[in-house]
Amino acid sequence: MSWRCTGQTNAELVNNLFRNGLIKSERVRNAFNAVDRGHFSKAEPYSDAPQRIGCDATISGVAPHMHAYAAESLLPRLNPGARVLDIGSGSGYLCALFGHLVGPTGKVIGVEHIPQLVQMSEQNLRRDPLHSQMLDEGRIKMVKADGREGYPEEGPYDAIHVGAAAAGMPEKLIEQLAAPGKMFVPVSEGYNQYIYEVEKDAEGNVKKNRSHGVMYVPLTDAREYSSS
């Protein structure tokens, strides 16, 4: 996938994701065009590959085609005014993307457990006046916390994105989903990881659909990184 979607500019990357069917909708395409990936990663930001997001060589971001897949999957719950939780927010890229999708009446909470990354994500966001404004108005809020607990203070959430693999189905996060609501989460099963698309309907019934196999970094304890 990567070689087909890589571009020299943000616009080229987005066009390639669209041409290859990863971006399907106009809304997701517009949001991708509104967020310059160059503000969020240091090297080759327009290549369709995971990027080092700084702080620690073991922390890599997620490739743009997975971001496109996740955004399309959550799109029915990313309407204007929606509340979104992004666990493992890393560089802050997806928070910006979600910020555009949910508009001025929506709210995006990014949860990241490495304090340096929380700080860096805010700096990245401030490189664009639009995203700076979203931070100032509280439409995007970056929080240092253990994402395995979710962030019940701001819930329930219409959409939850998890950017690192959970050790098992994260029931605490399902509890924080609104009814209706949808979660996109990589889950480890033995040596494999699979994307689960978890949907809660208006009555609170939960359906868990297992999708394709993936390779994400795991959701871990922060202290495993804290010496760096």
Question: Cα-flanking dihedrals φ and ψ of residue 191, to 5°?
Answer: -85, 0
Q: How far is CA 90 from CA 52, 96, 116, 131, 226, in A?
A: 10, 12, 10, 16, 15
Beta carbon nearer to ligand SAH, 85 or 164: 164
Of 59 and 178, nearer to ligand SAH (C-beta) is 59
Q: Kindly state the smallest distance separating residue 24's Cβ from ligand SAH, in Å.
A: 19
Nearest distance in Å: CB 203, ligand SAH: 30
Q: Hey, how many other C-beta atoms are within 10 angstroms of the C-beta on 42?
A: 11
Q: Which of residues 88-127 bind ligand SAH (CB under 6 A)?
A: 88-91, 93-94, 111-114, 117
Number of residues that bind ligand SAH (CB under 6 A): 23
Strand partners, 84: 108, 159
Residue from the set 45, 64, 163, 181 that interacts with ligand SAH by CB under 6 A: 163
Structure tokens at 108: 């995006």
**First-to-last C-alpha distance (Å) of the chain:** 33
Least Cβ distance, residue 119 to ligand SAH (angstroms): 12
d(CA 25, CA 21): 9
Q: What are phi and psi of 62, to 5 degrees?
A: -115, 145
Q: For ligand SAH, which is the closer residue by CB, 34 or 180?
A: 34
Binding of ligand SAH by 69 (CB under 6 A): no
Residue 195 lies near ligand SAH (rule: CB under 6 A): no
* Nearest approach, Cβ of residue 121 and ligand SAH (Å): 9
Instruction: Check if 60 is active-site.
Output: yes
